[in-house]
Amino acid sequence: MTTISQSIWIRLERQAFFFGVFITVYMGFFPLPTNSYTLVIPIIFISLLGLPHGALDYKLLKHLVPKKGQLAAVSGYIALVITTVFLWILFPHLMFISFLIMSAYHFGGDWPLNFSMRTINGFIILGLPTIFYPRDVMIIFEFLVSSSGAIFIVDALQIVTVICGIHLIIMILFKRLSSNQCLEMFLLGALSSVAPPLIYFTTYFCLFHSLKHFSEISVLLNRASPIRLLRLSLPVTVITLTTGFIVLMILTKSFRELLDQSLFQVTFIGLAALTVPHMVLVEWIRLKKVTK
């Protein structure tokens, strides 16, 4: 039996899917030029719709961890954020590759799949832009790692994506995936072929990944409504955006870097620093649910 709370999330996911179809059709007929707006628009949407789903981690820790262990849990979470930033500065190539692998597994968890299928789905989601827009992806990666490193990572992602794509097609033919998942993967494939990488990823992150995570969190937080979840996430979201803005100003003025490059580095490395502990927390929660 579907509760009222569940029906709200089901309806939102259907609306998100059709909005994704609209974006795909629109981008097919009216492609965006590559300019600063291509960077600014994704950052705005990720800040408003994507970032809040990770900003609820504090509430989850308070809800799931016994009171006497909450200080240690929050301290460990913050320590992991700081450690990620420092490791990224010291070992950018290694951290970038590690982050991509972790993200693939995390994104694959949008659906209840086993380890191999989660990883396959995740690498397809991450790697699709390298098939249709390899040059654009390479330019983005060069903001984060060296030129030779960017070429290697893009080439590797292309190979992995093709292999995973073949495996996914076989799984679809043998009806090992649900119809909803097949439709979503087909839509993401179509979107990645017509939208610049940042627009593609923003659409996936905000419409599909964040929404599914909000739905999962809602169950843990006493069937909280979407509005209540956004309200709960507001304080941490504001603090994070303020910190990011300050760091951006420091980078731009102190190092005289191009605004686009500083903006991208702050956004990506900042998201990575927040995402690593977030992914660890999510997997801990899922493991806890399985072992109950």
**Where does residue 84 rank: exposed (0-12), middle (13-18), buried (19+ CB within 10 A)?**
buried
What six digits make up the tokens of 168?
A: 């996914």
Confidence (pTM): 0.82
d(CA 215, CA 73): 23
d(CA 206, CA 33): 21
pLDDT of the chain, 292 residues: tens digit per residue: 445 566 787 888 889 899 999 999 998 888 776 554 556 667 667 766 666 666 778 778 888 888 888 888 889 988 998 999 888 888 989 999 999 999 999 998 888 778 888 899 999 999 999 999 999 999 888 878 888 889 999 999 999 999 999 998 988 888 778 888 889 999 999 999 999 898 899 899 888 988 888 888 887 777 777 777 777 777 766 776 676 666 656 655 554 545 555 566 666 777 788 788 888 888 888 777 655 5
Instruction: Indicate if the alpha-carbon torsion angle 188, 193, 197, 200 is positive or negative.
Output: negative
**Does residue 285 contact residue 60 with C-beta atoms inside 8 Å?**
yes
Say how many Å lie between the first and final Cα of the chain, rounded.
22
- Could you tell me where the DSSP H helices lie in the chain? 4-29, 36-45, 51-55, 57-64, 70-90, 92-108, 115-132, 134-142, 147-173, 179-194, 197-203, 210-220, 226-254, 259-291
